[in-house]
Amino acid sequence: MIVVTLKDIAREAGVSVMTVSNVINGKFSRVSEENAKRILKIIEEHNYVPNLSARSLAKSTSKIISIILRGEPDENTLRNPHHATLLGIVIQKVQDQGYYTMVNKVESHEDVLRSLRTWNVEGAILLGMFDDEIENIYSINDVPLVFIDSYSDARQLSNVGIDDDKGGQLAARYLIEKGHRKIAFVGPPLRGNGVVKHRFDGFCSELKNNGIALNPRHHFVVKSDVQPEAIIQMGERMACLHDEITAAFVTSDQIVPYLIRGLAKNDIFVPKDFSIIGFDNSTISTLVIPQLTTIAQDIDKKAELAVEILFRQLNSPDSPAESLVLDVELVERESVAAMRACSDS
Amino acid sequence: MIVVTLKDIAREAGVSVMTVSNVINGKFSRVSEENAKRILKIIEEHNYVPNLSARSLAKSTSKIISIILRGEPDENTLRNPHHATLLGIVIQKVQDQGYYTMVNKVESHEDVLRSLRTWNVEGAILLGMFDDEIENIYSINDVPLVFIDSYSDARQLSNVGIDDDKGGQLAARYLIEKGHRKIAFVGPPLRGNGVVKHRFDGFCSELKNNGIALNPRHHFVVKSDVQPEAIIQMGERMACLHDEITAAFVTSDQIVPYLIRGLAKNDIFVPKDFSIIGFDNSTISTLVIPQLTTIAQDIDKKAELAVEILFRQLNSPDSPAESLVLDVELVERESVAAMRACSDS
DNA sequence: CTGAAAGCGCTTACAG
DNA sequence: CTGAAAGCGCTTACAG
C-alpha cells in the first residue's frame, strides 16, 4: 500500500495542497463548495489519513496526551484494579476529545520528563507520583499536568484525589463505635506524603481523639503490589496477636481476602473473632464472604474529573490550577462485628 | 522553557547539525571523540530531547506501537482484569524495547485503520477483534499486526491465543467424571468465531462424546461486560431449574461469584447443591469461598509472546506470520462436587 | 476563493 | 571525520 499524501490528493483534484489542507481542517469558508465536495470525495476514495507526525511538526502541537503510570520495575501496575479502571476511563475520555493517548510506565521523575518532551505531548495525567518527584517534574515542565491521588506542597498543582484523611478517620471511628480499641493498621509503606500516609494519619488522629494510640507493633507493612503468600503469612501472624488486637483497618480491599485467609489458618475468623475494614469499595468487596465493610471512593469520577481539568487547561492556558478532593464514605457490610464486651447496641 | 533543537546544540558546539545528529544516534565512528564528548556534554546540559515528530517524519518510522482494545461504547475494557493484566505486560515489554505505546479503544474496524495509519505506527497488538473485522483490517494494512485471542481464516495472521476448545473439553470432561450429566453453559454471546464460541464448541463436543446434548434452554447468555445484578438474577433463575441441571461451565471466573450469589438466594449452594467450573484462573478464583475450580491460562505469557512476535516481524519484515496456541489446564479447587448418584470414587 | 513560498526539526544520501 | 543540500508531509502567514 502506497502512502497517500496531501500532494497526491491535490494533484488529482487539480488544486493546490493548501486548498486540500483547508478542506481537511474544516475551513470550508476558504474553499468553494464545488472544490470542497470534489476533494472530500477523493480523500474518501483513497482512504487518506493525514500524517500526524508532519502536522505535529508543522504546528508544534500533537493532540497527544501522555498517561504516566508510576510503578516499580517488576510491577504490573495494571494488575491493580483501581489503576486499571482509572486508566480505562481516562483513555476513553481523552479519545472522546479527539486526542491520542500514549501510556508510559515510569520508575523515576527522569522517565517522566523524557516522556513529556518527546512527542510534543500536549499534556499529561500522572498516577501515583510522590511528593519529591513532583517537585522535580514541575521545575522543568511546560505542559499542563494533572495528577491523580498525589499530595504536594507545590502551589500550582492540579490534582484530583480523595479525602484520604477522612477515610482513615471514618474507619477508626466506625471500629471504635463497634467497641474495638485494640486496632491494627495494614498497608504499604508510608512513603513520603502519599495516600497511605494520609489514611494512616486520619486513622491515628481519630484513635487519638478517643484516647487510643497505635502500637507500632500493630502497624503491618505490605509490599505495594499485592503478594498473596506474604499477606497470608501476615494474617497468620496477626492471628497470634489475637489477645492484643481485635480489628484492623486495611488500606486496600485487594489485601483483605488474603489476610482473612491467613487468619483463618490459625482459626481466627472474620468477623466473628476479628473485624476488618477495607478501602476502595472495589468489585472484590462484594464478591467475598463476608462481604467487606469498606471506605468507598468513586474511581470513575476521579478519572473523569482529571481529564476535564486537563482539557480546561489545554483550552485556556491561563486557567488556574485546580485541586479537587472527592468525598469518601463508609459502606457497611459484613466484615466488622461489634465487640461483645463493649456492646453499644 | 524554550525548546532546544539540534540546530541550537550544533551552534553552541560549533559543528554542523549532521554531526550532532550522528552523536545522538550513536554513530560515533563518524565523529571525532573530542567532538562527541563535547556535544554529549552540551546535550546533557540543555536536557535536550529530540523531537520525535520530526524524526518520525524524516525517517517515516516512529517507534510507536499501537495497542488496540476492542470494546463497546460504554464499556470500560480495563475493568476486565484479564485485559488489564495483558495490557500492563504489553506496555512494559514494548517500552523495554525502546518503543512507545499508544493505546486506542476502538468500536469497529474503521477505527482500527484510522489508528494504524496516523502516526506512522510501526506495528500493533490487537485485543478482542472478531473474525469479520480482521478480514477488513488485513485488506488495507501494511504494518505488522499481532492479534491476541482472535480466530480467523486469514492465512497470514499472527496471533497468540490459548486452546479454547480444549478448555471447554476439559471442563465438560471433568464435570462428567464427577458424575454430572445435566450441565449448563454460561457465557457472553457466541459472536462469530471468538473464544467463547470455541469454548462452547469444545464443551459441546465433549458432551457429545459422552452421549450428552446441551439443551438450548441451558445455554445462558450474559453481557460481555460483567453486570452483577443481571448475573445474580440469572443465578436465581438457574436455581429454579435445579431439577434439570446440576452443574455449569462458565466462560469467565469473573461471572461465577455473582452466579453463586444468585443461586444462594434461592437456597442452592455451591458446591453442595450445584457445581461450577470457571475459566481463566484469575485472582478472584482463590479469593472467594468456595475457591473456584477453573481452566487456567497464562496471561503474562500470552502478552509476552505477542510482543516477541511483533518485534520479530518488525526486525525482519520477511519473517513469517506466527500463530501460537498456549495450553490450558484444569485447576481443581472447591467449586465442583461429585454427584452422589453416580459416584465414581 | 486560491496558491507559491517558507518553515517545523530531523535524517538521508552525497561530496569533500 | 565533517558539512551543505534536499526532503519527509504538513501548516502558517502572505499575496493575489
Give the start-to-end residue ranges of the domains of chain A: 6-50, 64-162+300-326, 164-297
d(CA B205, CA B249): 14
Q: Which of B1, B86, B119 to mutate to probe the A interface, most A CBs <10 Å?
A: B119
CA of B206 to C1' of C1 (A): 71
Q: How confident is the model at residue A341 (pLDDT cuts 50, 70, 90)?
A: low
Residue B343 has pLDDT above 50, yes or no: no
So what's the pLDDT on residue B100? 95
So what's the pLDDT on residue B344? 42
Chain A residues whose CB is inside 8 A of the B289 CB are 288-289
Cβ within 8 Å of B, A 146-205: none
A164-297 has the same fold as A64-162+300-326: yes
Q: Which residue is nearest to nucleotide D2 (CA to C1')?
A: B19
- Cβ of B55 near strand C (under 7 Å)? The reply is yes
What's the half-sphere exposure (Cβ side, CA atoms, 13 Å) at B219? 14
Put simply, whether B48 touches A (Cβ < 8 Å) is: no
- Could you tell me the fold of the domain covering B164-297? Rossmann fold (3.40.50)
Asked whether the beta carbons of B309 and B303 are under 8 A apart, the reply is no
Query: Are B284 and A287 a contacting pair at CB < 8 A?
Result: yes
Size (chain B), residues: 345
d(CA A107, CA A77): 11
Nearest to B53 among A56, A67, A78 (CB): A56
Asked whether the beta carbons of B286 and A228 are under 8 A apart, the reply is yes
CA dihedral A275, A279, A282, A288 (to 10 degrees): -10
Cβ within 8 Å of A, B 25-44: none
Query: At A185, is the secondary structure helix, strand, or coil?
Result: strand
Residue A95 corresponds to which cell in the numbers above? Answer: 479519545
Three-point CA angle B339, B231, B298, nearest 5° = 75
pLDDT digits (tens, 9 = 90+) for A34-58: 888 889 999 988 888 899 999 999 9
Residue of B nearest to A1 (CA): B142
* Averaged pLDDT, B125-146: 86
A104 - beta bridge partners? A68
State whether CATH 3.40.50.2300 applies to domain A64-162+300-326.
Answer: yes
pLDDT digits (tens, 9 = 90+) for A155-208: 788 999 999 999 999 999 999 999 999 999 999 999 888 999 999 999 999 999
So what's the pLDDT on residue B2? 67
pLDDT digits (tens, 9 = 90+) for A201-253: 999 999 999 999 999 999 999 998 889 999 999 999 999 998 999 999 999 99
Other Cβ atoms less than 10 A from the Cβ of A261: the count is: 20
d(CA A127, CA A104): 11
Percent of chain B scored above 70 by pLDDT?
97
pLDDT digits (tens, 9 = 90+) for B196-229: 999 999 999 999 999 999 999 999 999 988 899 9
Q: Which of A44, A63, A265, A287 to mutate to probe the B interface, most B CBs <10 Å?
A: A287
Cβ within 8 Å of A, B 294-333: 300
Residue of B nearest to A87 (CA): B78
* Averaged pLDDT, B124-142: 85
Nucleotide nearest to B25 (CA to C1'): C11
Residue A344 has pLDDT above 60, yes or no: no
- Mind giving me the DSSP string for A227-294? -HHHHHHHHHHHHHTTTT-SEEEES-TTTHHHHHHHHHHTT--TTTT-EEEEEE--GGGGTSSSPPEE
Sheet strands (E) in chain B: 64-70, 100-106, 123-127, 145-148, 159-162, 183-187, 219-221, 247-250, 275-280, 293-296, 323-326, 329-331
Q: Which residue is nearest to nucleotide D4 (CA to C1')?
A: B16
Give nucleotides in strand D with any atom < 7 A to a protein C-beta.
1-5, 7-13
d(CA A44, CA A36): 12
